[in-house]
Amino acid sequence: MLKPISVVGYVVMVGGFLALLAQRAVFSASPFVIAVQAIALLLFAWARWTFGRRSFHFAANPTEGGLITNGPYRYIRHPIYAAFSLFTWAGIAGHWSWAAISCGLVVLVGALARIFSEEILVAARYPEYADYARNTWRMVPYIF
């Protein structure tokens, strides 16, 4: 049941982002938005680089090779979702509207669906995940 939930979460996340693109509410000329989105892209690249050759799976699927706890994963358990959310919400900050906020919430709900289903699956595969989870934040250090 968790893998289908993760697929729905992915579709919802991407759908919300595409809706923001359709509204032209992702990119901005604001230096603040550009800076935050650049930081988000760097976090995404760092997380992806740290993740290595492990491929992306449409459905949540813990991969072989052990639990990754270095790089940005040392601080947050889901840096790719954090980066995607940060990029999205920076764009929303530059195009503040109820429609944009609604799309941002859709993106966040999709990411949370992925996060919670992945955590359950990873914890089942890697017993050391419980210790790791106690010492890291999901997406935002000191907040969540």
- HEC states along the chain? CHHHHHHHHHHHHHHHHHHHHHCCCCCCCCHHHHHHHHHHHHHHHHHHHHHCCCCCCCCCCCCCCCCCCCHHHHCECCHHHHHHHHHHHHHHHHCCCHHHHHHHHHHHHHHHHHHHHHHHHHHHHCCCHHHHHHCCECCCCCCC
Average confidence (pLDDT) over 56-82: 85
Domain assignments of the chain as residue spans, ordered by start: 2-51+68-134
The answer to whether 93 and 20 are in contact (CB under 8 A) is no
**pLDDT tens digit sequence for 87-107:** 999 999 999 999 999 999 999
Prediction pTM value? 0.91
Which pLDDT score is estimated for 3? 85
Per-residue confidence at 58, pLDDT binned at 50, 70, 90? low
pLDDT at residue 57 is higher than 80: no
